[in-house]
Chain A
Amino acid sequence: MELKTRQVNDVAVLELEGRFDAHTAAPVRDIFQEITSQEPACIVVNLANVHFVDSTALSALVAGMKRSRQLGGDLRLCNLQPPVRMIFELTRLDRAFEIFTGEAEAVQAFGPQVESR
């Protein structure tokens, strides 16, 4: 799985590509750990090029989300492809995460929160 990180203002954008599963979740976990080691822990995960997530991948996202919220930030998702969206809906993780259609939208949603810092 490919993994790219970018910084948009105070928001860390993570772009993943390929299968996001037990075999590829470890580096993503590490990156979340790094980002959530300081405030503001604002993360957007762009899943535009991810077509499969398994439960280990989901738990990595949940862990990142919990840690960032503990620090007053959040982990938001965008560009969920239909198979991935279905998994989120079936497991009702769509109730736990803030999910956006596009990346810009997801980053912007942090707007007032980030600027107020």
Chain B
Amino acid sequence: MLPTILTAQRPHFEALAKAWQSAGAEAFVVIVNGFPLVSWPPYADAEEAVLVENIWAGHKKVGELRVIGLSSAEARAHLQTEARLISSLIQANENLQGVTAQLIDTQDQMLALYDLTQATREYLDLNTVLEQMARETTRLIKVEATFIMVQRPDESWLIKQYPEPILDLVTLEHMLDIVQTTGQDLLLSEEEVESAHTDIRDLLLMPIQIRESGQAALGLVNKIEGDFLSPDIKLARAIAEHAGAQIENALLYQKSLEQTKLQTEMELAQRVQLNLLPRQQPSVVGIDFWAGSRPASQVGGDFYDFLQQEGRPFTFTVGDISGKGLPAALLMSMTRTAIRAKVHDIPVATPEVVVARSNTELYDDFTEVSMFATIFVGQYEPANRQILYANAGHSPVIYCPAGGSARLLEADGTAVGILPTSFSENQRLTFAPGDVLIVATDGLSEAHNTRDEMFGYDRLLRLTESLANESAQAIAESLYQTVNEFSSGKSQDDDQTVMVLKGI
């Protein structure tokens, strides 16, 4: 470093030499490594010098200044000052070089991160992001291989190794455990890496911080040319931080994608379900009939149906699958199909037989998914103006004879899918003009208001009595409206289905 300073500041050194010469010195010599580097006049014999002062770079001697032909205390003090000044100059120069190196490092790092961002910014899919990241990191830090491991929200691991898999999952998880418990980087030398991996010389593993998610880590294997030094570790740390943000984005994107997909599926299920419900009201001799269903925001399992077949009695049914969502929607369509098939195919398909056969057919499937379906099946016999029905755990079913008081028709059997055998039997009901039968679902009776009170059966019964003179449609609409007003301010939690039959 002294030679560098000398080259750069040569005119100044020359001025010093001239000053000494005019002060009476024979020669001024700069010594490096014990040999004269330069002297004024040239080739002076520095061995005879009396005045000798060392030049220091920190604590290391880097050279000497020698003056020949002078020996006064004043001259010695002068030379000492010059040597100190040159030492300071060397020190300042070194500091400058250090800062410059750091700046270059930082710039390199920023460029590397820029490259990394460019390489991964186009991708939102976690798989691709990790792949690109592993590849770029391998190139930027100059290692033989890189791996990135991320724990997905379901706790399974996603691991990308570039260019090819080096470590098995058990080893990776073991190392990750260490990193996660200590919270610090892990630098392993050849001896410290599991002996099974003989091709691994050194390994740097650091945690990647991801908000609101599981663990993640970045691993670098076999530094090319030399060891992992401080700048490599710094760059790796910067990459790990950057990776954390990228992975977070990818995870968020994936989540929103899944939610959208689920939403679409639910909407589809709801549409399918609504399409399964009859779109027109039937016309039945002797009965004013109206049925409708208001689906809750979440897909529920309510359904209603009716069948009119030549030579068979008019058959109507209302059902409610326990639970919500896709499983309820699926079982609802299964149950509806089972009932339809029974009504259609069995020679004398009385409600009791329809319920019993449907239960036998659906019991295993319902058990499998821990659900059940309450079912009401009714048939109108115009000849004797009677309704024959079977009730498998369904409520509320309200019967209000003309001018009389309304009462609940309680089920005699459990819902379909609860017990292997059905207990529901055929029940008979006189259905004269003015009589009203309402088959609703619990979405109506269990509607809550903001004070957490339930609409309940009593209100339903009283309401039925007060509406008994209306038409079937008017009764249903008033029921909806009253329950709606009662639970205003609360979201509708469950499907609400109403089927009204009125004798005419």
Q: Chain A interface (Cβ within 8 Å of chain B)?
A: 22, 29, 52, 54-56, 58-60, 62-63, 66, 86, 89-93, 95-96
Which residues of the partner chain A approach B320 to less than 8 Å between Cβ atoms?
55
Would A59 and B323 count as touching, CB distance under 8 A? yes
Q: Are A92 and B413 in contact (CB under 8 A)?
A: yes
Instruction: Let me know if B374 and A91 touch, CB within 8 A.
Output: yes
Question: In the complex the two chains form, is B442's CB within 8 Å of A54's CB?
Answer: yes
Main secondary structure of the interface of B (DSSP, over half): loop
- Decide: A60 and B370 in contact? CB cutoff 8 A: yes
Residue from B367, B418, B454, B494 in contact with A93 in the complex, judged by beta carbons closer than 8 Å: B418
Which one of A54, A91, A93 has the greatest number of beta carbons of chain B within 10 Å? A91
Output the least CB separation between B246 and chain A (Å): 34
Which label, helix, strand, loop or mixed, suits the secondary structure of the A interface? helix
Residues of B with C-beta under 8 A to A93: 393, 414-415, 418
Task: Select the stretch in B109-117, B256-264, B404-412, B468-476 that faces chain A.
Answer: B404-412
Q: How far is the CB of A70 from chain B (nearest CB, A)?
A: 9
Closest chain A residue to B324, Cβ basis = A22
CB distance from B295 to the nearest CB of A (A): 16
The residue in chain B whose Cβ has the minimal distance to the Cβ of A55 is B322
- Complex formed: what's the CA distance from A96 to B374 in Å? 14
B371 beta carbon closer than 8 Å to chain A? yes
- Inter-subunit contact A92/B411 (CB<8 Å): yes
For the complex formed, measure the closest distance between the CB of B91 and the CB atoms of chain A, giving whole angstroms: 70
Question: Are A90 and B414 touching (Cβ within 8 A)?
Answer: no
Q: In the complex, what residue of chain A is closest to B448 when comparing beta carbons?
A: A52
In the complex, the answer to whether B322 meets A92 with C-beta atoms within 8 Å is no
10 more contacts with CB within 8 A, not counting A29-B370, A93-B393, are A52-B454, A58-B322, A90-B393, A90-B396, A91-B393, A92-B410, A92-B412, A92-B414, A93-B418, A95-B423
Do A56 and B324 touch (CB < 8 A)?
yes
Q: Are B372 and A62 interface neighbours, CB within 8 A?
A: yes
Q: Which residue of B lies closest to A66 (CB)?
A: B367
Contact status A96-B414, CB under 8 Å: yes
23 contacts across the A-B interface (CB closer than 8 A): A22-B323, A29-B370, A52-B454, A55-B323, A58-B322, A59-B371, A62-B322, A62-B418, A63-B370, A66-B370, A90-B393, A90-B411, A91-B393, A91-B394, A92-B393, A92-B410, A92-B411, A92-B415, A93-B393, A95-B414, A95-B419, A96-B418, A96-B419
Asked if A56 and B413 make an inter-chain contact with CB atoms under 8 angstroms apart, the answer reads: no
In whole angstroms, what is the CA distance A62 to B415 when docked? 11
Q: Does any Cβ of A come within 8 Å of B315's Cβ?
A: no
Q: Chain B residue with minimal CB distance to A70?
A: B367
Q: Mark B364-397, 1 if CB is under 8 A from A, else 0.
A: 0001001110100000000000000000111110
The residues of B that contact A92 with a CB separation of less than 8 Å are 392-393, 410-415, 423
Q: How far is the CA of A111 from the CA of B54 in the complex (A)?
A: 102
| Cα(A66)–Cα(B419), bound, Å | 9
**Chain B residues within an 8 Å CB radius of A86:** 457
Which residues of A lie under 8 Å from residue B322 when comparing CB positions? 55-56, 58-59, 62
